[in-house]
Amino acid sequence: MPIEECDVPDLSVLDRRVVDAAFFRDSYRTPLAHTQASVIEIFFGVFGHHPLWMKRMLIARNRVASLCGLDAATASEIMRPDVKRSYNVGEKIGPWPIFFLSPSELVAGRDNKHLDFRLSVLKEPNGKAMSAVISTVCTTHNAFGRLYLFFIIPFHKWGVRHLISRAIAAGRL
C-alpha cells in the first residue's frame, strides 16, 4: 500500500489557524486494509512497534531533551508502552497525553516551554474505502524550539514513514 505525503486534512479537529501558522507540519496518508480498526488500534499499529535501535535513539534524545528543560517520555514509556482496553482525554497513550479522542480521530501530544506538538491519527473516508492519516504539527515558542526542530525534522520525517511502512508490511493497518 502506498504512503502519500499530504496536507493536514480539513476533517481533522486540529485548529486550522495553528496548523497554518506552525513552524513544522507533515501528514502521511495510507489506505487501511483493516477498515474497522479503531484510531487506538491504528496508533499502536504504527507507534507501538518501534525497532529496538529506534527506541534506543528516542531514549537518548529524550535524555538530552530533559536536560534542556523539555518534558519528555521516560525510558520505560518508550521500551514498554502501556496498552489499555480504552482511553480517555487527559490519559496518556504511549508517552503522550491525549487531547482529543473520537471514533474517527485521536490527537495526542505535549506542551513544552520551547515548543508544543500534536500528533493526529485520523480515519478518513476515501470513497468506499478508508485511509489513515498521521499528522504532526509543531509550534515553536523560541529560538531553542526552532533549533531543536532543525535537527529533529529530518529524522522525524524518515522515522514516521518508516514506522507506517513497517505497520503496512506487518499487516497492522
**Cβ pair 32, 144 in contact under 8 A:** no
Q: Does 12 have pLDDT greater than 80?
A: yes
Query: pLDDT at position 1, please?
Result: 64
- 159 vs 68: which has the higher pLDDT: 159
| Site of grid cell 513544552 | 112
> pLDDT tens digits for 22-70?
999 999 999 999 999 999 999 999 998 887 888 888 888 778 777 767 7
User: Could you tell me which residues come within 8 angstroms of residue 27 by beta carbon, excluding any fewer than 6 positions away?
Assistant: 5, 6, 7, 8, 9, 133, 134, 135, 136
From residue 18, alpha-carbon distances to 3, 117, 147 in Å are: 25, 10, 20
Please check the confidence at residue 133 and state whether its pLDDT lies above 80: yes
Would the pTM of this model clear 0.85, i.e. be above it? yes
Higher-confidence position of 1 and 121: 121
Supply the mean pLDDT for the chain. 91
Q: Number of C-alpha atoms within 13 angstroms, CB side, residue 83? A: 11
Is residue 136 within 8 Å of 5, Cβ to Cβ? no
Percent of the chain scored above 70 by pLDDT?
98
Which CATH fold topology does 4-169 show?
Answer: Alpha-D-Glucose-1,6-Bisphosphate; Chain A, domain 4 (3.30.530)
Domain ranges of the chain: 4-169
